[in-house]
Structure 1
Amino acid sequence: MAKTVLVTGASAGIGKATAILLAQNGYHVYGAARRTEKMEGLKAYGITPVTLDVTNDDSISACIEQIFREAGSIDILVNNAGFGSYGAIEDVTMQDAKYQLEVNVFGAMRLSQLVLPKMRQNSYGKIINISSVGGKIAFPFGGWYHASKFAIEALSDAMRQEVKQFGIDVMVIEPGGTKSEWGNIAVESLMRVSGGTAYQKMATAVQKTFTNMAGNLPEPVVIAELIKESIEAESPKTRYTGGYMAKPMLFLRNILSDRMMERLIMSQLK
């Protein structure tokens, strides 16, 4: 019997690519997002679109209840919904900072809370949390985004140890750069928040770096394939890494001191 998968943030980028790839490989896929009109095309792959706002608990509960009602359970949860709020720590409002964490952290954990009881009952489940290279390395102007991804890393590690006894696996995916709306949203946020402040010069350099990098980014299916690999592994790894510069950056993070890593990062912002 086909496993039922819920992929959040399925209207674009990694989420959309993952929903399509899994549907093409025999999974019963629900794609969830706020922008349901952007998921109409997923129906052609046999994917069921469902409305989900990960910052609204009623919306989260309604999404899970619909899938339970229609499919009986959720065997695999891919917590992909997220975005990057960029700007200097000094400049980002607390309201925006809290929203970043609501979307990237609390939404994912609330969904996990709601799918775990049936996973325990079935003695089977997979929770895949989409982190980032930015869950291990912090770059200037991404402070609140990185805080959210560092949190996902820690929460995933804790949850993995808690639920392994019930036959449930928790995996982390750490993408580097991929083609998606993410970069444009992050740059727009950066320039809106810090483009006219004391951080303007550095913000402009970061904007230039994002622009130069854009042409080298792989398609999001590269990360979708990693997610599929993690789901189908008999003994899954705790972390899967892929995308532009992901493995080299994490390697350098492991061997360089904090000061050396920071000098390397700042050398790219000229």
Structure 2
Amino acid sequence: MTQSQVILITGASDGFGHLAAEKLLAKGHVVYATARRVDRMRDLQQQGAQTLHLDVTDTAEVQRVVSQIIAEQGRIDVLVNNAGFGQYGVVEAVSEDQLKYQFDVNVFGMHRLQQAVLPHMRDRQSGKIINLASIVSHVSAPLLGWYAATKHAIKGMTEALRMEVRDLGIDVVAIEPGAVRTGFEAVAFASMETLDTPADYDPLIEGMSNATRNMYASSPGPQSTARAIVRAVQARRPKAVYKTTPDSHILPRLKRLIGDRRYGALNLWMARRTLKRS
């Protein structure tokens, strides 16, 4: 029987974080589920989770939440760094403020949580940090440039952190899903519609939007990614990286095989193909 662990999950109001919290609760772990939208975690509370408001862009709130868990439980065994969002749009059209906010949530938010939990994990010479990366840690595409940039940053940081704390009894894991139906894409597309984008990009945007929506329509749900999070939590020696969908295995290999230019041409061909069908 797996020993009960104290687990802090960010971004647990929906998607991977919510489903992983359910699965971990079912296995008897102590779960602190956090998000800005606490009302969306009422079902988790009914299942036994401690639900707390947490905005990962607020350093003081991050420190308060971590301190509360340490005071109540004496430790945090696992941090699941899941909070994040996507801002779709061509690179030129995303404003500096929008870009700063996306990095503040996706990258600096992870940093705040890691800085808050690592002193406690180092004191105990034990702990596990699980960072939600993505297939776009390795590949990018039109409209995904800045979102992919945040995930590339997470990949680079996670690799370094894994090496830095390896001899301190702390494991660091990256979870790399591809396209998954979680509602993420709806938020990302909605954000793109708010941008002031030059008309020169209209054909590209229409084609890539069609191709991306088609891809998400045939994509798996969050189950495989949530299962990977649970496996990483419970493993005595977790893998460094868990790729959780078929495309997360295939596309980085394809890019290495055919090269950057051909991979880019393939993305553009897919976009143009949807325009011809419409």
TM interval, shorter chain, is over 0.9
Does residue 94 of the first structure (1) align with residue 100 of the second (2)?
no
- The residue type paired with residue 269 of structure 1 is A
- The residue type paired with residue 31 of structure 2 is V
1:46-125 equivalence runs, <5 A: 46-125=48-127
Q: CA deviation at 1:96?
A: 0.2
SS at the partner of 1:149?
A: helix
SS at the partner of 1:178?
A: coil
CA deviation string 1:168-227 (max 9, x = no partner): 000101101111121001111223326663212211112212221232122212101111
Q: Which moved more, 1:146-155 or 1:192-201?
A: 192-201
Runs of 4+ in 1 over 4 A off after TM superposition: none
Structure 1: gaps spanning 5 or more residues = none
1:136 aligns with one of 135, 138, 151: 138
CA deviation string 1:78-99 (max 9, x = no partner): 1000000111111110000000
Does residue 21 of the first structure (1) align with residue 9 of the second (2)?
no
* TM-score (norm: length of structure 2): 0.93
CA deviation string 1:71-123 (max 9, x = no partner): 11111001000000111111110000000000000010110011011111111
Given that 1:191 and 1:203 are in contact with CA atoms closer than 8 Å, whether structure 2 keeps it comes out as no
Given that 2:93 and 2:197 are in contact with CA atoms closer than 8 Å, whether structure 1 keeps it comes out as no
2:33 aligns with one of 31, 47, 58: 31
Q: Which moved more, 1:246-255 or 1:150-159?
A: 246-255
What is aligned with 1:190? 192
Given that 1:187 and 1:210 are in contact with CA atoms closer than 8 Å, whether structure 2 keeps it comes out as no
CA deviation string 1:33-86 (max 9, x = no partner): 000011111112211111100111112112111211111111100100000011
Given that 1:32 and 1:49 are in contact with CA atoms closer than 8 Å, whether structure 2 keeps it comes out as yes
- The residue type paired with residue 210 of structure 2 is K
* TM-score (norm: length of structure 1): 0.96
CA deviation string 1:3-59 (max 9, x = no partner): 100111000011101111111112110111000011111112211111100111112
Given that 1:7 and 1:80 are in contact with CA atoms closer than 8 Å, whether structure 2 keeps it comes out as yes
The alignment yields a C-alpha RMSD, in angstroms, of 1.4
- Percent of aligned positions with the same letter in both sequences? 37
Count of matched residue positions in the alignment of Structure 1 and Structure 2: 270
Aligned counterparts of 1:191 and 1:163: Cα–Cα separation in 2 = 42
Q: Which moved more, 1:83-92 or 1:94-103?
A: 83-92
Aligned counterparts of 2:8 and 2:82: Cα–Cα separation in 1 = 10
Aligned counterparts of 1:172 and 1:28: Cα–Cα separation in 2 = 22
1:140-155 equivalence runs, <5 A: 140-155=142-157
